[in-house]
Amino acid sequence: MAQQVQPRRRVLVAGLTIAGLGSILLCLILGELAIRAVHLLRDDIPFFESPARIGPITMDSKLGWRATEHYGQDLEEHTLRGQPYHVHRTQGLLGFRTYGDLRSTKPKMLVIGDSFTHAMAVSNDRTYYALLSDLLGVETFAYGTGGYGTLQEYLLLDEVFDTIRPTMVLWQFCSNDFINNDHALEMASSLNNNGWIRPYWENGRPVLRSPKPSGVQAREWIQRHSRFLYFIVSRVDRLRARGPFESIEFQIDRARFAHPGFARSVQTTDELMGMVRRRIGNVPLYAFNCDRDEPYSTAFEQISSHHQIQFWKDVPDAVRNAEANGLDVSASDAHWNELGHALIAKSLNEHFRRLQQVSTQ
C-alpha cells in the first residue's frame, strides 16, 4: 500500500510544480503584453520593437547603449510647473539629434554630452545647440545620450571624428559624470545608477560591468529581451534606494576631494579627457557643465586646465538665476525645457563672441 502512495505523491508534486511554473509563465506573458501595450499607446514605441531597442535608446555591446538611429516622436511635454507644450523630437543618422551637412563650407561644430544634450524634453530646433548653430552660423553635429559617462562619450567621438572632421568640439559635462565614470561609485549610488551595463575605464582599457548586484549576464538578458522584467527589476532598485542606504553623493558632498572614490574618479576622468584631447589634436575644445555643484565643478575646471580645454563654468548660472527669479526653466523630468535651452544657448553664444573679439584684437 505504501508503495502505491509514493508514486501518487510524486505525480501530485510534479503536477503542482508544473502548474506553478505554468502560472508564473502566464503572469510573465501577460505582464509583457501589458507593458508593451502601455509603451505603444503612451510612448508610441512599437509593440514588437527590436529586443535591443527601447524607444530613443538602443542597447549596444560596445557602448552599453546608444541613441536610436532614425527615431522620431511627437508628444505633449510639461514644464516642471505643469505648463504643457508640444515636442517634435527626432534622431537621425547614428542617433544624432542634429547631423549637419558634411559638404558645408561653414565651420563644423561637434557637440557631445549626456541627457542634457540628448534633450528629450524639447524639439530639435529648440535645443541649445540648434539655437547656437543659428547664432554662430556654423554647421552642427550634436549627439547626447541619457546616462552617458565620459568613456562612452569618448568612444562615440572616436567613431565619428574622422568622418565629421569638426573645426571645433563643444563638450557638455555633468556632475554625475564622476559617478558614472567609476564602477564602485556607481554601485554605491541610488541617484545616478540606471542599472544598465556600461564600459568603465580600468587599467587602461574599457571593461563592461553591471552597476547592480545581479551581474552582467542577468541584466543583459533582461535589458534585451523583457520589458516587463526590466520594469520589475527597476522598481526593486527604487525600493532598495528608499531603504536605510545613503547614496554615495552625500558622502562626496561632505568629504569633497578627500573622498577616496571621488579622487579616484577625478583621476580617471582626467585621463579620459586627455584621451579626447589627443584624439582631436589641435582642434579647439570648449566645455561647460550643466550645473555648478561642488566639488564637481572645481574638478572639471582643474581637468580642463590640464588639457587645453576652454571651460566656461558660469554657463549654468543663466538657468539657475532665471529660476531664482521665478521663471519656469525646467521640464517635468528636471532637464531644461525650451526656455532653459534658450538661456544656455545665449550664455554660450556670449562666450564664443568674446573669443571672436579677442581673436580679432
Got the DSSP string for 79-97? Answer: BTTS-EEEEEEEE-GGG-S
Write down the pLDDT at residue 361.
Answer: 47
Q: Which comes out higher in pLDDT, residue 35 or 86?
A: 86
Nine cell digits for residue 105: 563650407
Specify which of 18-27, 90-99, 209-218 reaches the highest per-range mean pLDDT.
90-99
- Smallest CA-to-CA distance from 268 within 145, 149, 115 is with 149
**Residue 340 pLDDT grade (very low, low, confident, very high; cuts 50, 70, 90):** very high
Write down the pLDDT at residue 91.
Answer: 97
pLDDT in tens, 214-269: 655 565 566 566 666 666 665 665 565 555 468 999 999 999 999 999 999 999 99
Nine cell digits for residue 343: 538661456
Percent of the chain at pLDDT exceeding 90: 72
Report CA torsion sign: 244, 248, 252, 257: positive
Q: Which comes out higher in pLDDT, residue 116 or 210?
A: 116
pLDDT in tens, 77-118: 999 999 999 999 999 999 999 999 999 999 999 999 999 999
pTM of the model: 0.83
pLDDT at residue 195 is higher than 90: no
- For residue 342, the tally of other CB atoms under 10 A from its CB is 20
Percent of the chain at pLDDT exceeding 70: 78
Task: Name, in order, each residue with C-beta under 8 angstroms of 108's C-beta and a sequence gap of 6 or more.
Answer: 100, 138, 139, 140, 141, 164, 165, 166, 167, 168
Write down the pLDDT at residue 34.
Answer: 72
pLDDT at residue 50 is higher than 70: no
Q: Tell me the average pLDDT across 40-45.
A: 59
pLDDT at residue 333 is higher than 80: yes
Write down the pLDDT at residue 188.
Answer: 95
- For residue 343, the tally of other CB atoms under 10 A from its CB is 24
pLDDT at residue 55 is higher than 90: no
Tally of helices (H runs) and strands (E runs) in the chain: 13, 13
pLDDT in tens, 117-154: 999 999 999 999 999 999 999 999 999 999 999 999 99
pLDDT in tens, 263-314: 999 999 999 999 999 999 999 999 999 999 999 999 999 999 999 999 999 9
If 0-12 CB within 10 Å is exposed, 13-18 middle and 19+ buried, where does residue 359 land?
Answer: exposed
